[in-house]
């Protein structure tokens, strides 16, 4: 069985959900690994993500094959059947899953995910003979370097700010040492912020933590007689320090473009901004958004240990975990990304974009707003499985293979094996070796399952892609097995072959 699925991890993370969207829009056939939570199965979590994107872009999307697993378990927690499926159908892998924990916790994060999870991905790739790996690292494997960091550099005797940076550095060493990987492409994003167009994020770390703190402090300060809110805070900075922050939608767009550019494979890419952000820009954007003032940049040599106000004390108590990033940020060489993705310049994070970030965060109550749950949708897979007859040793021998593609809620891709008007076998995915394909959206699919006096042959013909010589047979088998039609039909061969 030949196919070319891309195996993707980390789809529930911020970058991962954008990769999921963009790869589906690109036409990539995806298999994603997800784990269930207390309220949802792995399939339901991924379905919710895809429905979210459908609502955002106003377009129905194909569904990825969902494999239930856990990156912290051997072979990513896949059972034997899923591992066999990966070995048969996945030709390339992209590892986006990671922990952003800065300092090692009781569960062993970030090392548990960033080293253990990567080890398990390599374990699975080796077993499945996947030799083309795309790995999402971070630009901060450079650690505390302040010079120009070249894309081909990794080991430079650098120190690290925290366990997150160290774990990602060790992860790069690990993946580069995997001798069975023939083509390794490494992506090193800088600090990832929200969507440049909408401000969307699902996580309030990094830049968003500062924006949240700004919002809380200013909103809880009464305006003075002149209508301006005073928030006296001192930072031991010049205010002009350069910070490497990039919008998530740009990072995803560049990665997907590079993935689709074979000449780019095998390289390392810094996904960092051409125009860095500064603390002064962030503060001044906040001034104009909230009609506030009061932040003083006192310079790096100043002693700001004694708070000048209760607001100052609160501010410094809440940004402690990011103190290590205030004093330095490297300059990242962008040679490779300029060479292969010059047509995708990084959007400049200007005041308008910062205001979008603030507006989204406040509307989202900084992550406390309950996301609207998508209405439960009928599962095409469950329906198909309800039509399966008991499989016998010889029932699939001369069966007719049909790829079923269903876009939209509850949809997916499956290969159906039909024999004597019955569904005798089905498996996730669509494959080259098939007599025909039947492609439609979920609304159209369910309309065919409704009881009706005459099966809508003309409508069904529009969904069928098959050679003219076999089209009539395929449609009769499919309609009998899936839609309980027992009639025969003289097919419009011109439609079927178009």
Q: How far apart are CA 289 and CA 187, in angstroms?
A: 34
Q: Note whether residue 427 is domain-resident.
A: yes
* Burial group, residue 142, by CB count within 10 angstroms (0-12, 13-18, 19+): buried
Kindly report whether the peptide bond that precedes residue 372 is cis, defined as omega within 30 degrees of 0: no
Q: Is residue 134 part of a domain?
A: yes
Number of compact structural domains in the chain:
2
Q: What is the domain-level CATH number for residue 488? A: 3.30.1050
Asked, for residue 230, whether it belongs to a domain, the answer is no
Residue-number span of the structural domain to which 400 is assigned = 380-497
Task: Give per-residue pLDDT as tens, 474-493.
Answer: 999 999 999 987 655 555 54
Instruction: Say which residue the tokens 């991924």 belong to.
Output: 46
What's the pLDDT score for residue 489? 53
Q: What is the pLDDT of residue 490?
A: 53
Q: Which of 156, 189, 222 is the last residue of a domain?
A: 189
Q: From residue 70, how far is each of 4, 40, 49, 144 by CA, in Å?
A: 23, 15, 18, 32
pLDDT given for residue 451 in this prediction: 86
How many Cβ atoms are within 10 Å of 112's Cβ, its own excluded?
A: 17
Residue 375 pLDDT: 64
Of 189, 220, 243, the residue at which a domain comes to its end is 189
Average pLDDT over every residue of 325-340 = 91
Residue 68 has pLDDT above 80, yes or no: yes
Domain boundary among 189, 224, 252: 189
User: With b meaning 16 or more CB within 10 Å and e meaning fewer, what string describes 430-448?
Assistant: bbeebbbbbbbbbebbbeb
Instruction: Residue 417: count other Cβ atoms within 10 Å of its Cβ.
Output: 22
Query: Is residue 478 in a domain?
Result: yes
Which pLDDT score is estimated for 390?
Answer: 79
Give the confidence band of 496 by pLDDT, cuts at 50, 70, 90.
very low
How many residues would you count in the chain? 498
Q: Using an 8 Å Cβ cutoff, are 171 and 161 in contact?
A: no
Helix axes 80-89, 118-128, angle to 10 degrees: 60
For the beta carbon of residue 58, count every other beta carbon within 10 angstroms. 6
CATH of the domain at 39: 3.40.50.720
Provide, rounded to the nearest whole percent, the portion of the chain with pLDDT above 90. Answer: 82
d(CA 233, CA 319): 13
Query: Is 364 inside a domain boundary?
Result: no
Name the pTM for this structure.
0.94
The predicted structure's pLDDT at residue 12: 97
* Residue 306: partners with Cβ closer than 8 Å, 6 or more residues away: none
Q: What pLDDT score was predicted for residue 394?
A: 61
Predicted confidence (pLDDT) at residue 410 exceeds the cutoff of 50:
yes
Interstrand relation of 436-441 and 422-428 (parallel, antiparallel or unpaired): unpaired
Residue that is written with structure tokens 């500064």 in the block: 278
Alpha-carbon distance of 332 to 341, in angstroms, equals 16
Confidence (pLDDT) at 403: 96
Asked whether the beta carbons of 255 and 338 are under 8 A apart, the reply is no
Tally of CB atoms within 10 A around 152? 10
DSSP codes, 66-121: EEE--TTSGGGG--HHHHHHHHHHEEEEEE------SS--TT-TTHIIIIIIHHHH
Cα gap 483→481, rounded to integer Å: 6
Answer for the pair 380, 412: CB distance below 8 angstroms, yes or no.
yes
Tokens, residue 297: 């940049």
Residue 286 in any domain: the answer is no
As a whole number, the mean pLDDT across the chain is 93
231-287 tens-digit pLDDT? 999 999 999 999 999 999 999 999 999 999 999 999 999 999 999 999 999 999 999
Asked whether residue 294 is assigned to any structural domain, the reply reads: no
User: Is 146 contained in some domain?
Assistant: yes
How do residues 285-308 score in pLDDT, each as one tens digit?
999 999 999 999 999 878 777 889
């Amino acid at each position: 069985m030949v196919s070319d699925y891309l195996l993707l991890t980390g789809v529930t993370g911020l970058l991962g959900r954008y990769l999921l969207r963009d790869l589906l829009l690109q036409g990539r056939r995806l298999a994603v690994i997800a784990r269930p939570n207390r309220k949802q199965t792995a399939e339901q979590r991924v379905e919710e993500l895809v429905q979210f994107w459908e609502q955002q872009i106003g377009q129905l999307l194909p569904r990825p094959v969902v494999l239930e697993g856990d990156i912290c378990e051997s072979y990513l927690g896949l059972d034997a059947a899923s591992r066999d499926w990966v070995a048969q159908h996945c030709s390339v892998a992209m590892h986006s899953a990671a922990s952003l924990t800065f300092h090692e916790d009781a569960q062993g994060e970030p090392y548990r995910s960033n080293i253990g999870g990567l080890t398990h991905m390599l374990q699975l790739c080796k077993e499945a003979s996947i030799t083309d790996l795309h790995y999402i690292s971070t630009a901060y494997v450079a650690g505390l370097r302040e010079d120009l960091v070249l894309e081909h550099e990794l080991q430079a005797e650098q120190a690290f700010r925290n366990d997150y940076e160290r774990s990602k550095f060790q992860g790069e060493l690990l993946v580069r040492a995997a001798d069975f990987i023939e083509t390794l492409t490494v992506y090193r994003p800088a600090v990832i912020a929200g969507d440049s167009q909408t401000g969307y994020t699902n996580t309030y770390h990094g830049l968003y933590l500062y924006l949240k703190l700004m919002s809380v402090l200013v909103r809880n300060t009464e305006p003075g007689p002149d209508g301006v809110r005073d928030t006296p805070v001192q930072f031991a900075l010049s205010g002009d320090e350069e910070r490497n922050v990039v919008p998530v939608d740009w990072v995803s767009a560049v990665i997907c473009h590079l993935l689709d550019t074979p000449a780019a494979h095998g390289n390392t890419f810094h996904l960092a901004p051409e125009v860095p952000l500064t603390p002064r820009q962030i503060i001044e954007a906040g001034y104009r958004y909230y009609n506030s003032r009061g932040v003083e940049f006192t310079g790096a040599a100043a002693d700001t240990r004694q708070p000048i106000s209760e607001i100052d004390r609160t501010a410094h108590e809440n940004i402690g975990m990011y103190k290590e990033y205030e004093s330095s940020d490297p300059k990242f060489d962008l040679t490779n990304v300029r060479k292969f993705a010059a047509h995708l310049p990084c959007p400049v994070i200007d005041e308008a974009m910062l205001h979008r970030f603030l507006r989204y965060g406040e509307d989202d109550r900084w992550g406390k707003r309950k996301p609207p749950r998508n209405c439960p949708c009928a599962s095409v897979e469950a329906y198909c499985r309800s039509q399966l007859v008991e499989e016998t040793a010889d029932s699939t021998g001369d069966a007719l293979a049909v790829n079923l593609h269903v876009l939209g809620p509850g949809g997916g891709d499956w290969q159906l094996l039909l024999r004597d008007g019955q569904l005798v076998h089905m498996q996730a995915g669509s494959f080259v070796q098939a007599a025909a394909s039947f492609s439609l959206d979920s609304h159209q699919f369910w309309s065919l399952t409704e009881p009706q006096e005459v099966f809508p042959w003309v409508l069904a013909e529009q969904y069928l892609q098959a050679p003219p010589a076999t089209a009539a047979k395929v449609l009769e088998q499919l309609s009998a097995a899936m839609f309980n039609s027992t009639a025969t039909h003289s097919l419009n061969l011109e439609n079927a072959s178009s």
